[in-house]
Chains A and B, each alone.
Chain A
Amino acid sequence: DQQVKQNSPSLSVQEGRISILNCDYTNSMFDYFLWYKKYPAEGPTFLISISSIKDKNEDGRFTVFLNKSAKHLSLHIVPSQPGDSAVYFCAAIISGTYKYIFGTGTRLKVLA
Chain B
Amino acid sequence: DVKVTQSSRYLVKRTGEKVFLECVQDMDHENMFWYRQDPGLGLRLIYFSYDVKMKEKGDIPEGYSVSREKKERFSLILESASTNQTSMYLCASFDRERLALHFGNGTRLTVT
Contacts and interface: CB of A to CB of B under 8 A. Distances in A.
A104 B40 contact: yes
Query: Looking at chain A, what size class is its interface with the partner chain?
Result: 20 to 34
B105 A43 contact: yes
A99 B90 contact: no
Interface in A80-112: 89, 91, 93, 95, 98-100, 102-105
Contact of B48 (A42, A89, A98): A98
B50 A49 contact: no
Given A49-B98, A93-B99, A42 B42 contact: no
B45 to A, nearest CB: 7
Interface string B17-59: 0000000000000010101000011111100101000000010
> What is the interface of chain A mostly: helix, strand, loop, or mixed?
loop
Given A98-B50, A99-B45, A99-B58, A44 B98 contact: no
Interface of B: 4, 9, 31, 33, 35, 40-45, 48, 50, 58, 90, 92, 94, 98-106
Given A100-B43, A102-B43, A104-B42, 19 more contacts: A36-B103, A41-B9, A42-B105, A43-B104, A44-B90, A45-B103, A46-B100, A49-B100, A89-B42, A93-B99, A98-B31, A98-B50, A98-B94, A100-B33, A100-B45, A100-B101, A102-B35, A103-B42, A104-B40
